[in-house]
Amino acid sequence: MAAWNLKDKTAVCGVGHSPYGRRLNRSTIDLAGEAIRHALDDAGLGRDDLDGLIVSFGTPIGADADTLAYALGLKLKMYNQTWAHGRFTASCLQWAAMAVNAGLANAVACLTAISFSGFRRPMMGGAGDSEGAWEAGGGHGEDPVFGMTSPGAGAALVAQKYFARFGATSRQLAAVPVAFRKHASLNPTAIMREPITVDDHQNSRFVCEPLHLLDYCLINDGAACVIVTSSERARDLQKPPVYLSGMQGLPGGREEFIWTYPGFGTSQQDAFDYQPGLQPVYQMANVTPKDINALFTYDAFSILAWTALERFGFCGQGEAAAFTQEGRIEVGGALPMNTNGGLLSEGHMMGWNHQVEIVRQLRGECGPRQVANAQLIQWANAYGDSLIYRR
């Protein structure tokens, strides 16, 4: 059976977000409504033009999709939702692209709206989270029997193994949060804008060794929305279309540990030489990593920038530590990453703020943090899912 050709068939026509803040004291429905309204205004569409909805949030930190549709007075032909997590961000956009191509909807709003400030984690082994309770131990490797009671513990396990296996150091890893904070200092939307140094990183306390406080993402409230429609329709709307040129689904299985790539040897993975090769996202978009002008990745923990770089072939195994030094991943460097400041500094929006920034970068709307002549930008996760956007 021939593959369904989705290259450039859909485009993002509008993006929007609410304010991001530590404690906004607003409901998730209110936040979602603001993000959707700003995205519709960005596209030049009205509320009744929106006939599809895909949300990446749910109880206990967000509202259900049907509740949102009812409360905001939407008239939908289709909707879908998954729970709040950065590994489902690309999937939501892929589902939207497929829905538009299948004629199930004309304009699909993809979004998250979250309120961490109103969320109280249930105790699991002393410090766990609700995802761990849902997933019989957790997709991050949480298992209280072994003392793994938080997502940060799984990421710390990967960082510890990476340091031991490749001879990298925490001081080298500091280049990631330092670069992303530098980008956030140029972004008026960012929560954390005060520049930091490598020494600031090294002097911040350990949360789960070897990860320092400044290796951890923010916890905050907010909402962000991306509207997907057909390429033909997008060309007739208010802003220049940003095309979805390449897509790669979220893989699963024993060799997949959420914070790293197959073959790394963490959790149940076997240890072997992982060769990223020419992955499906590049095949669909007909490009290679060398063609990418900027890279965005889910950065709940700074180590994920390294494993994403290696998973998608921007550098070889064990080479990300050196690759990220000397400003290489900063604006003006060879491969700018997370120019909004990322989850580490702009805000934790499950990666949806990254999608908003990608679209604005390709439109040339990012001012002092603008990537010069950006044509192709990739969302590429340590988890294995990916999107390639084209102006």
Q: 264: domain range?
A: 10-120+217-390
In a domain, 134, yes or no: no
**Confidence at residue 4, expressed as pLDDT on a 0 to 100 scale:** 78
Type of residue numbered 370: Q
pLDDT band (50, 70, 90) for residue 178: very high
In a domain, 85, yes or no: yes
Give this prediction's pTM.
0.94
Residues with Cβ within 8 Å of residue 233, at least 6 apart in sequence: 13, 106, 107
The rounded distance, in Å, linking the Cα atoms of 387 and 343 is 18
| Span 230-238, average pLDDT | 98
| Span 225-231, average pLDDT | 98
Residues with Cβ within 8 Å of residue 80, at least 6 apart in sequence: 53, 54, 55, 65, 92, 95
**Confidence at residue 138, expressed as pLDDT on a 0 to 100 scale:** 61
Q: Which of 120 and 63 is assigned the larger pLDDT?
A: 63
Residues with Cβ within 8 Å of residue 164, at least 6 apart in sequence: none
Per-residue pLDDT reduced to its tens digit, 259-289 = 999 999 988 889 998 888 779 999 999 999 9
Q: Which of 9 and 67 is assigned the larger pLDDT?
A: 9
In a domain, 3, yes or no: no
**Confidence at residue 125, expressed as pLDDT on a 0 to 100 scale:** 37
What's the mean pLDDT when you consider all of the chain?
Answer: 91
In a domain, 163, yes or no: no
In a domain, 25, yes or no: yes
Percent of the chain residues topping a pLDDT of 90? 78
**Confidence at residue 58, expressed as pLDDT on a 0 to 100 scale:** 55
Domain containing residue 375: CATH number: 3.40.47.10
Residues with Cβ within 8 Å of residue 103, at least 6 apart in sequence: none
**Confidence at residue 83, expressed as pLDDT on a 0 to 100 scale:** 78
Residues β-bridged to residue 301: 216
**Confidence at residue 1, expressed as pLDDT on a 0 to 100 scale:** 52
- Mapped onto helix, strand or coil, the DSSP state of residue 116 is helix
**Confidence at residue 275, expressed as pLDDT on a 0 to 100 scale:** 84
In a domain, 167, yes or no: no
The rounded distance, in Å, linking the Cα atoms of 384 and 313 is 12
Q: How many other CB atoms are found less than 10 A from the CB of residue 147? A: 11
| Span 10-39, average pLDDT | 96
Per-residue pLDDT reduced to its tens digit, 119-157 = 554 443 334 455 555 555 566 766 666 667 788 999 999
In a domain, 114, yes or no: yes
In a domain, 110, yes or no: yes
Per-residue pLDDT reduced to its tens digit, 72-129 = 999 999 999 987 788 899 999 999 999 999 999 999 999 999 988 875 544 433 344 5
**Confidence at residue 235, expressed as pLDDT on a 0 to 100 scale:** 98
Asked whether 362 and 215 are in contact (CB, 8 A), the reply is no
Q: What is the DSSP string of 279-323?
A: -HHHHHHT--GGG-SEEE---SBTHHHHHHHHHTTSS-TT-HHHH
- Mapped onto helix, strand or coil, the DSSP state of residue 150 is coil
The total of structural domains in the chain comes to 1
Query: Where is 158: in which H helix or E strand?
Result: helix 151-166
Has residue 352 got a pLDDT over 70? yes
Distances (CA, A) of 115 to 22, 60, 129, 349: 9, 9, 15, 10
